[in-house]
Structure 1
């Protein structure tokens, strides 16, 4: 259902508030450059520090601007199942095409707890759901066997797999087959994960180079492996640079340098250390972005 290069879009701020005009411009630019879908209110969108009102408004605005030209997969995850249900119901009401739900963080549920969490959201909100596994941020790794159990639920259609393990991605594809779409959760593993059956990526890098990320995924999907590999290596310096510090600090800094946003962050995130900023500048210059 959801394939290709799906941008985990930043949430631009100006003077402490969501900059709606700039967000709309970013969405238009993404669509014009061939991005296959927009994912607002994810990790890159700083969902953790958005108020519920802001969170809902960002999703509403994204749906309005996208206007069915590409799918909108709204970030609606929480470490509270009730809150995740409420956010997912709102996304459905707002007209989102799907929802992306991170595994509950901090409270570290068991595999059974993860299963029951997602099952409860699926039963309460009639919307296609994409699971999101990123143990480096949440403290819990959703195992392939649990993903396979969840894939039997009709509205659970995909997973953003961010464990960093191609073997885990391979196991998910082997266990779930066509019941679940695997999307890479690490830009640098887009090509390897597609090689074991992935269908695309939810990407940070597309915030800067949407056309190139879309081209990488499309090339591999069309069997143009050498072209996909060429694009992978071309983009690799950016894949690394955007994680010099915690995401989305570097990507917002980069978009600021490109003149696309005010690179404002919300505490506890803060501007890049000068040494890392200097390194980022060199990578952006080499990529022709500044």
Structure 2
């Protein structure tokens, strides 16, 4: 079956218990809320999923559990964020064995690889898995940009199919479409430029605040797709103070706190992260509470 790169794909948070174990009960509560809202895929182990703190065993458990939870309703992607090519290949093959439908891939971690090194890293993984791959291009946070010239080479691998476009430069959507057409699908990856990117031609949105507000996120996507731009824009403008919690070093803590307020998550994070405290906590709570007071009534976005 051909992988369909479109729609809303939450980069879900990883739920932990007070004792720092995986909390699959609360995790399933959140996954159910995402499915009920009509999301189009689930992305595990990304930045929001606290990937760097998860063991290989935990990633396997999360993948297998999520595949079981979604029951083929939507694809499940595992993020690959490794320091060596060897471990990246192993992680990709483990995800495939655990039932993942696709992969999201970051450039090498810690070492700032050059263009050729980055290309060879991605190609090595692509050549050792049958899963479709989305390249996560986020030079703002990860300091390595995957340029269009590099994609010319990468797209020789048939299973490299999409980019998570997180450069924060919305003109890249048009440049990618002009250069690659439908050969390289675009999933916008920054919440605060998501609607703009979709209107410019992005195929979908790997979202963050969707973790706490799934229905509002899917509604924006479905409304703009149906040409009901004014309605999508009204929800997006309401959403913006919350979406800005995603472009912050404490995005994990911010979004987990929002999940608490909407009843589909907990605040437990894995150290060295700590839950928000002090003035920072007060500010984030203010954003969440003010947004909940004016939460919009959504149209029947599932039947447009």
Conserved 8 A contact 1:78-1:101: no
Which shifted more, 95-104 or 260-269? 260-269
Question: 1:77: how far off?
Answer: 2.8
Corresponding residue of 1:261: 265
1:103-252 equivalences in 2 (<5 Å): 103-252=107-256
Q: CA deviation at 1:247?
A: 2.1
Distance 2:245 2:81 in 1: 27
Structure 2 CA distance for aligned equivalents of residues 192 and 285 of structure 1: 26
**Cα distance in 2 between the residues matched to 1:241 and 1:114:** 30
Which one of the candidate residues 50, 55, 67 is aligned to 2:54? 50
Q: 1:27 to 1:111 in 2, by over 3 A?
A: same
What is the SS of the residue equivalent to 1:191? helix
1:82 aligns with 2:106: no
Partner Cα distance (2:83, 2:201) in 1: 29
Match of 1:4 among 4, 7, 15: 7
Q: Which runs of 5+ in 2 are unaligned?
A: 296-304
User: Which ranges in structure 1 are unaligned for 5 or more consecutive residues?
Assistant: none
1:273 Cα deviation from its structure 2 partner: 3.5
Q: Give the RMSD, CA atoms, in angstroms.
A: 1.7
Q: TM-score, normalised by structure 1?
A: 0.94
Aligned length: 290
**In the aligned structure 2, how far is the partner of 1:81 from the partner of 1:217?**
35
The normalised TM-score by structure 2 is 0.90
Distance of 1:7 and 1:258 partners within structure 2? 16
Q: Deviations over 1:110-158 (max 9, x none)?
A: 1111111111111101101011011222221111221233223211111
Tell me, yes or no, if the aligned pair for 2:212 and 2:264 is still in contact at 8 Å.
no
Partner secondary structure for residue 89 of structure 1 = helix
On the 8 A contact 2:38/2:218 being kept in 1, the answer is yes
Specify the SS of the correspondent of 1:211.
helix
1:245 shift after superposition: 4.1
What per-residue deviation string (whole Å, max 9, x for no partner) do you get for residues 208-262 of structure 1? 1111111111222222222222222121111113445422111112223444333
